[in-house]
Amino acid sequence: MSLARFAFSPRFPTNTFWRDVDELFHTAAPTSLTPAADVLETDKTVELHLDMPGVAPEAIDVKLEGNQLTITAERKDDKRAEEKGWIRRERSRGMFSRTFTLTDALDGTQPEATYRHGVLVVTVPKREAAQPRSLKVKVEA
């Protein structure tokens, strides 16, 4: 049995048809914004880097409860969102929340967060006991 390639060639204006289909599915499903996250471990800290371009700093909430680090934010429509003439809108808008579970080796009492150039960096220091130690041992001959 051989497979035949299917080519779709509609007999109606494709630009408006596909735009209408996109709008139908984008309005039917809620928009979610889940940023990519990188986790970096150093000798003294663990850093979470989250890409959040277009999110205002005042719309970001970083909360640490127990061993759960929760980051909540919202990207809102810009003022031009109500203008007519949009052909396509692919950038995500809306609220998101991500939770990370911290290990007991981290000191959750002193987290720090910075937001620059669309990247949120949350730094959580390690407890003293979890940090690597170096001892100098005197060798005698």
CA dihedral over 10, 15, 16, 22, signed as positive or negative: positive
* 30's tokens: 């809620």
Overall domain count for the chain: 1
> Domain of 41?
34-80+90-129
User: Residue 44 maps to which CATH number?
Assistant: 2.60.40.790
Residue-level pLDDT at 128: 81
CA contacts within 13 A on the Cβ side of 72: 6
Collapsing DSSP states into helix, strand and coil, what is residue 70? strand
**Assigned domain for 43 exists:** yes
Residue-level pLDDT at 29: 46
Q: How many CB atoms lie within 10 A of CB 102?
A: 17
> How much is the average pLDDT of 97-103?
90
pLDDT digits (tens, 9 = 90+) for 107-132: 888 889 999 999 999 999 988 876 66
**Assigned domain for 85 exists:** no
